[in-house]
Structure 1
Amino acid sequence: MMDEVVVGSLNVKDCVIMQCKICHTVLGDSLQFCGSSSTLNLLICLRVTENVELDPTTLIGCEGPLSECLYKSLYCSYCRANVGIVPFSTTDLLSHLRGLYCLDKQALDCYMLQSKSEVEATALNLYPQCLTQHIGELKRQLVVAHCRLMAAVKKLDELVGEESGLGISILELQHRCEPERYYVGCKD
């Protein structure tokens, strides 16, 4: 079943591939998606594929929501269609878009992995993934890795202590050999 396919914490049912509406070249995916703007009709991504080219010319918005904003256009590298913008200098209202890839929904079709169907980006309601859940899982994995590392250090201490006959741990030896490293920045 497609619903049951999970890679790490990634559900296939949530995966979307963003394509150029004209030539169907892959421009991005929902893994890099971080939001949308209904007023500008944009899908906002942290990254896009190498199939998206950034125009070197900086443009100035003269009217509409991009008025007084500096941005560069994004193009599909295959058919040269304009697929969005990257704002560099914006009004306070659009400051959250600076430096992000803003793909124009009108220029995109989206391929849904679960249903294996194509949908116009304008008809799609994407929501950014909840980072709180991913951060919690990452914390859990870090604690497990730390515990394993400390167990390995303890075992190594036992082995080195037995072989050297010193009865001293690796951590103690390291502290004795490099005391200045641990006291840098400390003042009396």
Structure 2
Amino acid sequence: MDNVMFGSLKAKDCVIFQCKICHSVLGDSLQCCGTSSILNALMCLRVTENVELDSIILIQGPLSECLYKSLHCSFCRAKVGMVPCSTTESLSHLRGLYCLDKGALHCYMLQSKSAVEVSDLNLEPQSLTQHIGELKRQIVVAHCRLMAAVKKLDELVGEESGLGSSILNLERGHKPQTYHCKV
């Protein structure tokens, strides 16, 4: 199951977030977009229907200078997080996100079928630089494989016809080139 992929996410990385009290499914790592150390929470774009958004806007609590709504488990009514509605500028990145309290969560890993602590998970998204670096590495690998295939084709064509240049180069009017790839 390690090689099974959903989009660009490997199945081994999928985690289900459950209520710590009744184990109702509240969300998953596919919707997680980071963590908040200020709130000790996971920031999610969406949650399941097992999470109820309180209609009352609160001011007290962990975000005393902000307006937010509490999130509750629909089965056991435990408080599982909040959704900031109006925040200070320093917390504006939290507005409208479902902030699930790490202390109220139980995590289940799909691949290993085991429970893990939220603190053991790395749910921070990769930076754009990391994505670009990985894409560049994959392009270099693909290029090297292509050049190795062209070289092998040159050898096969050269052996059969007595010609030493690539079919691709002959079609384009190019001189033979040598490629050296390191990965």
TM-score category, normalised to shorter length:
0.5 to 0.7
Tell me, yes or no, if structure 1 residue 91 matches structure 2 residue 88: yes
Whole-angstrom distance in 2 between the partners of 1:11 and 1:130 = 17
More helix by share: 1
3-state SS, counterpart of residue 42 of structure 2? strand
Tell me, yes or no, if structure 1 residue 56 matches structure 2 residue 51: no
3-state SS, counterpart of residue 47 of structure 1? coil
User: Shift of the alpha carbon at 1:33?
Assistant: 0.5
User: Shift of the alpha carbon at 1:131?
Assistant: 6.9
Whole-angstrom distance in 2 between the partners of 1:121 and 1:99 = 22
User: Shift of the alpha carbon at 1:113?
Assistant: 1.2
3-state SS, counterpart of residue 4 of structure 1? coil
Q: How many residue pairs end up in the alignment? A: 132
Runs (5+) with no aligned partner, structure 2: 136-183
Q: Which residue of 2 aligns with 1:112?
A: 109
Give the alignment's TM-score, normalised by structure 1.
0.65
Whole-angstrom distance in 2 between the partners of 1:8 and 1:26 = 22
Whole-angstrom distance in 1 between the partners of 2:128 and 2:10 = 14
- C-alpha offsets along residues 23-79 of structure 1, whole Å, 9 cap, x if unaligned? 0000000110011011210000000000000000110036xx512100000000000
Q: Which amino acid aligns with 1:25?
A: S
Q: Which amino acid aligns with 2:89?
A: D
**Quick check: 34-43 or 19-28, which moved more?**
34-43
- C-alpha offsets along residues 135-167 of structure 1, whole Å, 9 cap, x if unaligned? x8xxxxxxxxxxxxxxxxxxxxxxxxxxxxxxx
Q: Which residue of 1 aligns with 2:100?
A: 103
Whole-angstrom distance in 2 between the partners of 1:48 and 1:60 = 23
**In the superposition, relative to structure 1, how do residues 66 and 27 fare at CA in structure 2: closer, same or farther (>3 Å)?**
same
Q: Which amino acid aligns with 2:84?
A: P
Whole-angstrom distance in 1 between the partners of 2:3 and 2:127 = 19
Whole-angstrom distance in 1 between the partners of 2:85 and 2:128 = 25
Give the alignment's TM-score, normalised by structure 2.
0.66
Q: Which residue of 2 aligns with 1:7?
A: 6
| Correspondences of 1:72-91 after superposition (within 5 Å) | 72-91=69-88
How many percent identity over aligned positions?
73
**Quick check: 3-12 or 81-90, which moved more?**
3-12
Q: CA RMSD in A?
A: 2.0
Contact (CA 8 Å) 1:106, 1:122: kept in 2 or not? no
Tell me, yes or no, if structure 1 residue 66 matches structure 2 residue 63: yes
